[in-house]
Amino acid sequence: MKARQTYSTKEVAREVGIHWVTLLRWLSEGKVHPSIGVPMNGQTLWRWTAADVERVRKYKTAHYGEGKGPRKKAKKKSGNR
């Protein structure tokens, strides 16, 4: 029997293209959920399946950057000082 492939939180964040702290925030806010939580030394080690990664990717596409407001445009430097 082949073991199912799982990913760490940092691996999922890298795969999806977000910072791992962002993924942890989404997790703590209940916006995304991994399939496997392993209790370890009073904490939980999260393991993500390929289906979980796809759900995070879809959440990012739908919600990433919400509430950030308009982005500032870079000012052009003038040659005169």
Give me the residues paired with residue 46 across strands. 37
Structurally, the chain folds into a number of domains equal to: 1
Please report whether residue 71 resides in a domain.
Answer: no
Question: How many residues in total does the chain contain?
Answer: 81
Spans of the chain, pLDDT less than 50? 1
Q: Which domain, by its residues, includes 16? A: 9-62
Backbone angles phi, psi at 47, to 5 degrees: -125, 135
The predicted pLDDT at position 31 comes to 96
Report which DSSP code applies to 45. Answer: E
Residue 14 belongs to some domain of the structure = yes
Within a domain: residue 58? yes
- Maximal CA-CA distance, the chain: 71
Quick check: is 69 in a domain?
A: no
pLDDT score at 64: 83
